[in-house]
Amino acid sequence: MKNKQSVFERMASKATQATGSTAAFLLAFGTILIWIITGPIFGYSDTWQLVINTGTTIITFLMVFLIQKTQNKDSLAIHIKLNELVAANELTSNRVIAAEDLSEDELRILEKYYGKLAEMAKKENGVHLSHSIDEAMQNHQSKMKKSEVIKDKKPLTEKDSIKSTSRPKQSLTSSTPNNKKLTK
């Protein structure tokens, strides 16, 4: 895929990476130390205080927008990746693909369902029963074999891809993905 980021996106990404670095923290800390040390020199005047207040306010104001821009992009990418995983696995419920669009009551219903699954998982004798290095190797080999089969098939056009992945919308009722009622 070509990287067609706008100038602002590239700038925001680089700025948030730079400001999250150790060097940026040390620079900010050094600035505060210099400001504190110069306090007696300037007699702790109102101008001395105004310099640090104005500087930090401007930086904070601008950083809010840069961080939010980066966070929005990261959040969207995570949603897309999770949606791909849900859509690709035939054992998962497609109802959760657009979970961020559900009402808070609908999310609470799903939370109870997955909370029940978590309780059942805790009763098992540990992570080693469900996850192992051998299992990871088998999954990887299976994926490699499937990718070889896919390479041999005729590629789909974007229109074909949309047709093959579109699903009818399902309404979310007060039942769980397995249609078992949960009480509130």
* Amino acid (one-letter) located at 88: A
58-62, 64-68, 112-116, 118-122 — which is least confidently predicted? 118-122
**Phi and psi at residue 32, to the nearest 5°:** -65, -45
- Pick the more confident residue, 41 or 99: 41
At 83, list the tokens: 């949606």
Indicate yes or no: pTM above 0.85. Answer: no
Asked whether 69 and 12 are in contact (CB, 8 A), the reply is yes
Q: How far apart are CA 177 and CA 157, in angstroms?
A: 32
pLDDT band at 144 (very low <50, low <70, confident <90, very high): confident
At 168, list the tokens: 């009818």
CA atoms within 13 A on the CB side of 137: 3
The dihedral through the CA atoms of 130, 135, 79, 72 has a sign that is positive
Above pLDDT 70, what percent of the chain?
77
| Domain extents in the chain | 7-85, 102-143+166-184
pLDDT band at 173 (very low <50, low <70, confident <90, very high): very low
Asked whether 52 and 35 are in contact (CB, 8 A), the reply is yes
Q: How far apart are CA 94 and CA 83, in angstroms?
A: 9
